[in-house]
Amino acid sequence: MITLPSHLQVHDDRFRALTHPMSRLDRIAEGFTWTEGPVWFGDRDALLFSDIPSRRIMMWSETTGVTLYRAESGFNNGNTRDRQGRLVGCRHGARDVVRTEHDGTLTVLASDFNGKRLNSPNDVVVSSDGAVWFTDPTYGIISDFEGYRSDPEQPSRNVYRLSPEGVLSVVVDDFAQPNGLCFSPDESLLYIAESGSSHDDSVAPVIRQFAVEGGTLTDKGVFATLDAGLPDGMRCDVQGNLWSSAADGVHCFAPDGTLLGKILVPELVSNLCFGGPDGRRMFITATSSVYRVFVDVPGAEPWTRGRLC
Ligand code: MG
């Protein structure tokens, strides 16, 4: 049996095919306050990520290292791209979901529901039909650390879908704190992280699974329960394995929910994404740093595998 480097922990032999004995865990950026929202821009060979409390979005590339992408980001948290390649992000400060147009201007996509302000949109995905799905926990308004302290106006912490026609609707309303979310490769399933154990020990740190039918979700129950910390950001690879943030690193689950293995990271992990020249680099935001690790499987999101078509 080939020995893997110490940052790779095998729980099921299927994990070995998803990594490599020469894999390294490289810290490619450091010195931040709380990193989040990694998203790969293959057309720029660059990674964008948020430093939420410092209110900025940073860019990293192999050739230029770390540069400032946007100052005064409004406590921007989770990021993704739509099929036109535009950046779509969640801002705690303005409590909205915002799209960055190709000319750099910002378009607010959602900021209120039923006449009341959203809590603090946290993470976002865009399905191939152009609908925008996002979570709305209260982390951005429970202190002044990553937003502005305020009482929530919404009666629950919802998951929303903004239709391509611009209609905002609640698709799930029974989370303590919905957080990261991602689709299975064929978009038939949506995984949503429950991170409510951050402030309530009675909430289990689970990833829930929902069947997607058009614009509605059907609850298929708990997909996996984390054994270290709680789930925040997540991504699927092309084989349908789910990679979730956790307290001790990144946990990889098979489509049946089996824990295949872990990438151990020396800082608390908030989120991750696939990218790099062949889609086989995982970028991990972890507290004050960003790490890169080779994984031998590309991400499910098409723009993570090179230039956006
Ligand atoms: Mg999050």
**Percentage of the chain lying above the pLDDT 90 cut:** 94
Question: Which pLDDT score, from 0 to 100, does residue 3 have?
Answer: 86
Question: Which pLDDT score, from 0 to 100, does residue 238 have?
Answer: 96
Per the structure, the count of domains in the chain is: 1
Q: What DSSP character marks residue 5? A: P
Q: What is the pLDDT of residues 257-287, one digit of tens each?
A: 999 999 999 999 999 999 998 899 999 999 9
> Residue 108 sits in which domain range?
8-304
Q: What is the pLDDT of residues 118-162, one digit of tens each?
A: 999 999 999 999 999 999 999 999 999 999 999 999 999 999 999
Distance 177 CA to ligand 1 centre (A): 10
Q: Is 1 inside a domain boundary?
A: no
Q: Is 2 inside a domain boundary?
A: no
The angle subtended at Cα 100 by Cα 212 and Cα 211, nearest 5°, is 5
CATH of the domain at 118: 2.120.10.30
Question: Which pLDDT score, from 0 to 100, does residue 306 have?
Answer: 61
User: Are 226 and 179 spatial neighbours (Cβ–Cβ below 8 Å)?
Assistant: no
Q: Across the chain, what does the average pLDDT equal?
A: 96
Which structure tokens are listed for 94? 């303005």
Distance 231 CA to ligand 1 centre (A): 8
Q: Is the model's pLDDT at 1 over the cut of 80?
A: no
Distance 22 CA to ligand 1 centre (A): 30
**Calpha distance 284→303 (Å, rounded):** 17
CB within 8 A of 259, min separation 6: which ones? 11, 12, 224, 227, 251, 252, 253
Q: Is the model's pLDDT at 63 over the cut of 70?
A: yes
Distance (Å) of CA 274 to CA 73, 250, 263, 271, 294: 23, 12, 14, 11, 10
Q: Is 113 inside a domain boundary?
A: yes
Q: Is the model's pLDDT at 91 over the cut of 70?
A: yes
Distance 35 CA to ligand 1 centre (A): 10
Distance 176 CA to ligand 1 centre (A): 14
Q: Is 3 inside a domain boundary?
A: no
Q: Is 309 inside a domain boundary?
A: no
Distance (Å) of CA 33 to CA 53, 150, 200, 233: 6, 22, 24, 17
User: Residue 2's pLDDT band (boundaries 50, 70, 90)?
Assistant: confident
Q: Is 65 inside a domain boundary?
A: yes
Distance 284 CA to ligand 1 centre (A): 13
Q: What is the pLDDT of residues 29-54, one digit of tens each?
A: 999 999 999 999 998 899 999 999 99
- Tell me the pTM: 0.97
Q: What is the pLDDT of residues 195-231, one digit of tens each?
A: 999 999 999 999 999 999 999 999 999 999 999 999 9
Distance 21 CA to ligand 1 centre (A): 30
